[in-house]
Amino acid sequence: MSILNVLIEIELKLKQYKVQFIFLILFWLAGLSVFVVIEPNHSFLEYVLFSLTVRRPEPAGDFTNFYSLVWPILLEVIVFGFIMGELLEKYNPIITSRILSKHKRNHTVIIGFHHLTERIIEHCIANKESFCIIEDHEELVEDLINSGCPVVVGDPTETINLGFASVRRAREVFIGIDDARIALICTEKIRKVNHDCPIYVRAFEDHVQDYLKQPPLNAIAFSTSQWAMDDIKEWTKHKKGNAIVIGRDSLTHRIAYTLSLQPEREVFLFDDEHDGIEFQVNERLHIIKEFACFLSDLREHVKLEEVTQAFICWKQDSEFDESLYLTSKLNLRYPQIEIFVRIFDEELIDLVEHYNAKTFSTSSKAFEMLQKQVTLDSAIYPK
């Protein structure tokens, strides 16, 4: 354990015993003051020794006897109890990680833990770059906490949590929150205390990006969905035939809407959570509010013989099995369909490509694109 960690843990315990130590000091000051009044003609050093019960005035009065009885008890319970009972116990790793974050200077602050920010963290660790992360869900960052990384568990919109992350002294900030409202609040609060550091914000909607780029925020907005769409537009250029799009988020909706604008194409969007999308729906875009993971689910609404492209855009890790199963069945029964599968982990690419499918929106591709957006002194700038 480093000296810094030891000092932080001592600081943590002192804060927990703050009330007890304040009471002990006040009791000592009160005793010292009384001795000065009732025992005149003594030096200041003698008064201090009287108050510490190292020496007793002669003759000893009632106050001296009372003070000599109470002071050792308080000293033993508070001071020695703190030393023996608290410094030897196991410390709360969450609180310790938070205090580690508070002591950071000229560091990278990462808000939100998901596939892209995980890449940023891995890069910082591999290159020994100073960083801390704010994440509201403890289970997502449990491994980082246990490994001694500086982590603030809590709502990133709360000023106290931003203070623990030491955003005032940060070199740069990456905000990877899906919720645009939270991203905007974080950006505004960070900019109020840090006027100079670059703030990189992942935002999907164009109007949100425009707002972030304007003064006084002056943030650098980016969209991983737009980066993914660059590849998808190439894959769908001049294509004919119907298309299937399966998923729930903004990227899924953007793909379905973009395809529906192409001439002579019918697009079937399977989204089991939303009644509509954020784009203007036209007559060639059909929204089906059902969960589709079997061919029978698709056949009920689509003539698969007329489909030429299928996009499977689920983003949950737990849904990869369904993605792989549906990919295998489509490849086996309908080989004319081009299949595109959204994944985040490069280790899974071989499994998907085994069924002649293409992958998109990988976290490594997004990280490479983000590296092109950052300043030269950024922790993730390619060395």
Name the percent of the chain lying above pLDDT 70.
Answer: 92
Domain boundaries, the chain: 3-86, 93-222, 234-362
Considering just the CA atoms, what is the radius of gyration of the chain in Å? 31
Please name the fold of domain 93-222.
Answer: Rossmann fold (3.40.50)
pLDDT digits (tens, 9 = 90+) for 116-129: 999 999 999 999 99
pLDDT higher than threshold 80 for residue 284: yes
Please name the fold of domain 234-362.
Answer: Rossmann fold (3.40.50)
Residue of 369 and 1 predicted with greater confidence:
369
Per-residue pLDDT averaged across 241-268, rounded?
94
pLDDT digits (tens, 9 = 90+) for 363-375: 888 999 999 999 9
Which range, of 15-29, 175-189, 201-215, 231-245, averages the lowest pLDDT?
A: 15-29
234-362: same fold as 93-222?
A: yes
What pLDDT does residue 334 have?
Answer: 97
Per-residue pLDDT averaged across 277-287, rounded?
89
What pLDDT does residue 253 have?
Answer: 93
Which range, of 4-8, 118-122, 190-194, 355-359, averages the lowest pLDDT?
A: 4-8
Are the beta carbons of 378 and 172 closer than 8 angstroms? yes
What pLDDT does residue 85 have?
Answer: 56
pLDDT digits (tens, 9 = 90+) for 83-94: 655 555 445 778
